[in-house]
Amino acid sequence: MRQVTERPESSSEPRAAESAAGAQKPPAAEPADGRVMGPGTAPAVEGVKAPAAAPDSKPVFAVERLTVSYAGRPAVREVSFGIEERRITALIGASGCGKSTFIRTLNRMNDLIPSASVEGSVRYHGQDLYAPDVDPVQVRKRIGMVFQKPNPFPKSIYDNVAFGPRVLGMKGEMDEMVERALRRGALWDEVKDRLKQNAFGMSGGQQQRLCIARALATDPDVILMDEPASALDPISTGRIEDLMFELKDRVSIVIVTHNMQQAARVSDMTAFFTVVVDDTGHRHGEVVEYDETEKVFTNPADERTEAYVTGRVG
């Protein structure tokens, strides 16, 4: 169950319709029985790769026939779907199905792996992220990322948050930017008296919220989260999930998770990845189903999805 903690003041403003709808979604109980939300609440969408965009939401990413290969061997193939603005999109699926590979193409982090190559297109607000004239550094300024293991820099809490604005040369009062980011990261009250202390002295959950605050400091449009809570205890996990709800009125969030309950609790949309073995015996990931989270968890179109979300497989 999601932890009920106090929300900071920032979340008290009235919400846009779509985020209110997302926040009101009842915390899905046990996905193991998979039917808690009642069948047929979402519009029926035929099968695989249907971009089921809600009418009130614009796509922030339009992914078209995306194939990512390492050293020529595809890790994830022919992925096509749209990721919507100001919503939380969960990527679920068994290990090795290319979720992390996929999420890392959205801010060109795969560029750091020399053997990685990308085919197909990823459009970000209509602009091809892999066009030759696109600077990956500029991409990452707009699209932040939080990793599986908290990775604070071996610096003070303050310097961790200030790092992004500093390297980007952002104008403004640094103390204010740091405070704002820490408040949005729901960490300010815990750390305001020890901003100069080394971030390595924080608990794992605090470190991860620091990493989120650090990503927020550069005021990104999207935050990608690669299993952000997999190394954390349930209380810290609950805090991070609360935080995601609070953030989604300003940023779009894409989250990779192995935790089915978490995907059901936090996300508006869910993409289910699976491992496919091709004719040559090589394994790669594909997207089986992409739809409203309720639909994926209660009335999935594909039987592989159903097997996975009900816990029969994986």
Partner 1 sequence: MSVAEVPVARAVVRGASRGARVREIIFPASLMLCIAFAMLTLVVLLLDVAVDGLPVLSWNFLTSFPSQVFPERSGIQSALVGTLLLMVVCAVFIVPVGTASAIYLEEYADGNRWWNRLIEVNIQNLAAVPSIVYGILGLAFLVRGPLELGRVVLAGALTLGLLVLPVVIIVGREAIRAVPNSIREGSMALGATLWQTIWKQILPGALPGIATGIILALSRAIGETAPLIVVGAAAFARFNPNDLTSDPFSALPIQILAWIQDPQEEFRTLAAGAILVLLILLLFMNAGAIYLRNRYEQKW
Binding site for partner 1 (CB under 8 A): 107, 109, 112, 114, 137-138, 140-141, 144-145, 147, 149, 151-154, 163-164, 167-168, 200, 211, 214-215, 218
Burial class (CB in 10 A: 0-12, 13-18, 19+), 79: buried
- Least distance in Å: CB of 312 to partner 1? 34
Please state, in angstroms and rounded to a whole number, the distance separating the CA atoms of residues 227 and 232: 10
3-state secondary structure of 259: coil
Question: Residue 150 or 285: which CB sits closer to partner 1?
Answer: 150
Question: Residue 179 or 302: which CB sits closer to partner 1?
Answer: 179
Question: Residue 211 or 309: which CB sits closer to partner 1?
Answer: 211
- Least distance in Å: CB of 228 to partner 1? 13
- Least distance in Å: CB of 108 to partner 1? 9
DSSP 6: P
- Least distance in Å: CB of 164 to partner 1? 4
Question: Residue 53 or 168: which CB sits closer to partner 1?
Answer: 168
Where b means 16+ CB within 10 Å and e means fewer, 123-157 reads bbeeeebbeeeeeeeebbbebbbbbbebebeeebb
Which of 67, 237, 66, 70 has its CA nearest to residue 148? 237
Q: Are strands 143-146 and 73-84 parallel, antiparallel or unpaired?
A: unpaired
Burial class (CB in 10 A: 0-12, 13-18, 19+), 176: exposed
Question: Residue 79 or 109: which CB sits closer to partner 1?
Answer: 109
Q: Beta-carbon neighbour count of residue 56 at 10 Å?
A: 12
- Least distance in Å: CB of 156 to partner 1? 13
Question: Residue 153 or 188: which CB sits closer to partner 1?
Answer: 153
- Least distance in Å: CB of 154 to partner 1? 5
Where residue 254 falls (left for φ over 0; alpha for ψ -120 to 50; beta otherwise) is beta
Which of 196, 188, 110 has its CA nearest to residue 155? 196
